[in-house]
């Protein structure tokens, strides 16, 4: 199994997706339940959400790499 296949398997795994969703919900809850004066805590939680998005995007780009190679123009 190559990297693209492993990334696809990971991204389609229900348990893994559920854990990512749970983390996202936890971080968003931290933002929503913060006091008005907890600016730094909200910023940290926001950065965690963004980092989680970056991780998912990273694995998605690996998963899509096979399709990109197949669709690449070939110079004859």
Contacts of 31-34 with C-beta under 8 Å, sequence gap 24+, read: none
Domains of the chain, by residue range, sit at 3-70
Q: Residue 74 has what DSSP assignment?
A: -
Q: Which of 53, 69, 57 is nearest to 2 (CA)?
A: 69
Q: Encode pLDDT of 16-50 as tens digits.
A: 999 999 999 999 999 999 999 999 999 999 999 99
Q: Provide the pLDDT for residue 65.
A: 83
**The two structure tokens encoding residue 50:** 């963004």
Task: Look up the pTM and report it.
Answer: 0.78
């Amino acid at each position: 199994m190559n990297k693209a296949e492993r990334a696809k398997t990971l991204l389609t795994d229900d348990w893994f997706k559920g854990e990512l969703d749970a983390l996202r919900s936890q971080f968003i809850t931290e933002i929503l339940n913060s006091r008005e004066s907890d600016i730094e805590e909200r910023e940290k939680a926001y950065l965690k959400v963004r980092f989680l998005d970056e991780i998912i995007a990273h694995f998605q780009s690996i998963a899509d790499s096979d399709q990109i190679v197949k669709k690449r123009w070939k110079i004859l």
